[in-house]
C-alpha cells in the first residue's frame, strides 16, 4: 500500500495555520474517527490541531508498514563470504575435469597429479602427516606419489570441496582456525580429527552450511 500526496493547502483553524493534505490511498482504509475510505479515490483530511495531525500520520504509517512483505529471501551467497574459491582452484585442474559427475569419475580413475596435492596442501595449510592420514597412506608413500590412485584422488576432491566451502565463508585463515578449534556441536571434537573419513567431511560441511544460513549450532 502507498500514500500519494497530491497537494498541501494551508487554512487558518482556531487562529492557527493548519495544513490540509489531499492525496490518494491505494488500498481501502476505514478509520471511523477520521473517515478515511474508498480505494483509489481522492480524499481530503482536515486536521484541526497538531495532535490529530500526529495521529493521522501514525495511522497511515502503521497501515503502510503492515502491508510490507514478510517473506525473507535467503541469499544464495553467504553474507560473510570472504572469497570465491572453487574446487578446481584448490586442486589446480581444468574446470571441465570436475564440473560433471561423469567427468569426475574419469578424473578419479585416471588419478590426480602431484600438482593437485601440492596445491591442496598449500591452500589448506595441512602438513604431510595430516594429509597422509586423511588419504589413508603413510607419509613416506605420500612423498613418492606422482599420480594418486582412484580412492586417493576422490578423497582429495572431497577435502578440496570442504575447504572451498569453508574458505569461501570464513576466509583462508579464519577457516584454518575453525578447523583447529573444538566444536561443542560435534562433541567438542576438533574438525581436523574428522577429515580422514567421508562421513566426517559431510558432518563438517553441514556445520558450515548451518552457519551460512544463520542456524545456531
What gap in Å lies between CA 211 and CA 174, rounded to an integer? 14
Mean pLDDT per 10-residue section of the chain, whose length is 217 residues:
46 51 42 42 47 63 55 40 83 94 96 96 95 93 93 96 96 95 93 96 95 74
- Overall pTM surpassing 0.75 (yes/no): no
With beta carbons less than 8 A apart as the criterion, state whether 111 and 149 touch: yes
- Dihedral sign for Cα 194, 197, 200, 204, please: positive
Q: What percentage of the chain has pLDDT greater than the value 70? A: 60
Q: Is 116 exposed, middle or buried (0-12, 13-18, 19+ CB in 10 A)?
A: buried
What gap in Å lies between CA 111 and CA 188, rounded to an integer? 35
Q: Is 196 exposed, middle or buried (0-12, 13-18, 19+ CB in 10 A)?
A: middle
Can you give the length of the chain in residues? 217
What gap in Å lies between CA 171 and CA 83, rounded to an integer? 6
pLDDT in tens, 40-64: 444 444 445 555 556 666 766 665 5
With beta carbons less than 8 A apart as the criterion, state whether 143 and 131 touch: no
- Minimal CA–CA distance to 206: which of 185, 192, 182, 189? 185
Amino acid at each position: 500500500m502507498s500514500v500519494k500526496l497530491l497537494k498541501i493547502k494551508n487554512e487558518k483553524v482556531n487562529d492557527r495555520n493548519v495544513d490540509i493534505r489531499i492525496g490518494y490511498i491505494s488500498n481501502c482504509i476505514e478509520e471511523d474517527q477520521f473517515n478515511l475510505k474508498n480505494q483509489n479515490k481522492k480524499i481530503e483530511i482536515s486536521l484541526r490541531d497538531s495532535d490529530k495531525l500526529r495521529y493521522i500520520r501514525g495511522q497511515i504509517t502503521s497501515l503502510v508498514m503492515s502491508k510490507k512483505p514478510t517473506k525473507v529471501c535467503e541469499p544464495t551467497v553467504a553474507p560473510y563470504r570472504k572469497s570465491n574459491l572453487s574446487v578446481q582452484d584448490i586442486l589446480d585442474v581444468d574446470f571441465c575435469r570436475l564440473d560433471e559427475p561423469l567427468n569426475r569419475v574419469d578424473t578419479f580413475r585416471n588419478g590426480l597429479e602431484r600438482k593437485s596435492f601440492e596445491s591442496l596442501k598449500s591452500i589448506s595449510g595441512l602438513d604431510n602427516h595430516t594429509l597422509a592420514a586423511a588419504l589413508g597412506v603413510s607419509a613416506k608413500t605420500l612423498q613418492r606419489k606422482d599420480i594418486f590412485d582412484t580412492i586417493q584422488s576422490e578423497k582429495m576432491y572431497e577435502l578440496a570441496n570442504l575447504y572451498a566451502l569453508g574458505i569461501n565463508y570464513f576466509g583462508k585463515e579464519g577457516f584454518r582456525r575453525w578447523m583447529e578449534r573444538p566444536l561443542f556441536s560435534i562433541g567438542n571434537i576438533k574438525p581436523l580429527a574428522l577429515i580422514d573419513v567421508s562421513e566426517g567431511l559431510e558432518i563438517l560441511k553441514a556445520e558450515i552450511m548451518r552457519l551460512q544460513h544463520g542456524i545456531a549450532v
